[in-house]
């Protein structure tokens, strides 16, 4: 069975500050080491659960956070900052399971380092009427290809948000929020063991799991200001429904996701304007 891993970073145990998540300083290097160990725990658990091939898509920041030669299980590695399917690049219908590793809570949630794709642009995202973070949005791609999302790891908020939209998903809660920049984390050794155990169980049960039930898969966004909404409305499949409100519903759930990603990319420069 092929297993796809989309890995972010902010949901890693012990990571609580942006300095640990970006750049090349010592704190960022330490954060990447913690992330690598959690990704490898998920890979090892997936193999124990029956995976025969692992594909890891680096989905954080500039998307080159992991040393390829240190990935477990001879996993292939998708990296680099421009990908048509962004956090879900590489997924297709040939996979038997999808894993979300080191995910964080949605923008506005009481969770560590919470945001939804671009914190300068997105104020809130709703999927079929329910508030969602990146796990729910990314699950649109899995739903399109008919691949079950069987595991999410990260903070308590991220796992709860994923469970709301993906019934039956296994979760490894490795930290609980104290504030947006503070958390109560498991010791990294215990966090990795939890991830490995939950991944093993999730992948072993993947054959009986169903794709995310996201139907019709309508994505609604509240953005930070009207200029962002105006620019986003130029994209096919994106309708402006209010001064700062957008509705995205493509011909397929993949189209919806791609229109969302295009909106995030197109509005990046507008969102930077003070």
Is the C-alpha dihedral spanning 159, 61, 192, 14 positive or negative?
negative
Which residues are tagged catalytic? 115
**DSSP, res 43:** H
**DSSP, res 108:** T
CA distance 5 to 46: 10
CA distance 113 to 93: 32
Is the C-alpha dihedral spanning 160, 152, 164, 261 positive or negative?
positive
CA distance 5 to 202: 13
Cα of first residue to Cα of last residue in the chain, in angstroms, is 48
Q: What is the three-class DSSP state of 34?
A: helix
CA distance 112 to 156: 10
Helix axes 134-145, 253-266, angle to 10 degrees: 140
Q: What is the three-class DSSP state of 3?
A: strand
């Amino acid at each position: 069975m092929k297993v796809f891993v989309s890995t972010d970073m902010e949901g890693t145990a012990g990571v609580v500050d942006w300095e640990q998540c970006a750049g090349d300083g010592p704190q960022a290097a330490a954060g990447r080491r913690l992330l690598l160990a959690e990704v490898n725990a998920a890979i090892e658990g997936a193999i124990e659960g029956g995976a025969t091939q692992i594909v890891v898509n680096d989905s954080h920041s500039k998307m080159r956070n992991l040393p390829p030669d240190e990935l477990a299980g001879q996993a292939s590695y998708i990296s680099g900052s421009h990908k048509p399917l962004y956090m879900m690049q590489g997924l297709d219908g040939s996979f038997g399971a999808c894993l979300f590793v080191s995910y964080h809570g949605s923008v506005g949630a009481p969770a560590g380092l919470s945001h939804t794709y671009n914190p300068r642009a997105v104020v809130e995202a709703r999927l079929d009427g329910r508030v969602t973070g990146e796990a729910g949005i990314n699950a649109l791609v899995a739903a399109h290809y008919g691949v079950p999302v069987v595991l999410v790891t990260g903070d308590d908020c991220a796992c709860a948000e994923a469970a709301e939209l993906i019934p039956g998903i296994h979760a490894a809660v490795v930290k609980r929020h104290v504030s947006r920049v503070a958390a109560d984390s498991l010791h990294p050794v215990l966090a990795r063991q939890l991830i490995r155990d939950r991944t093993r169980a999730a992948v072993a049960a993947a054959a009986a799991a169903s794709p995310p039930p996201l139907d019709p898969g309508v994505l609604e966004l509240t953005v930070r200001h009207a200029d962002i909404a105006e620019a986003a409305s130029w994209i096919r499949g994106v309708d402006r429904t209010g001064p700062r409100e957008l509705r995205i519903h493509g011909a397929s759930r993949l189209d919806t996701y791609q229109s969302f990603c295009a909106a995030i990319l197109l509005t990046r420069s507008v969102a930077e304007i003070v």
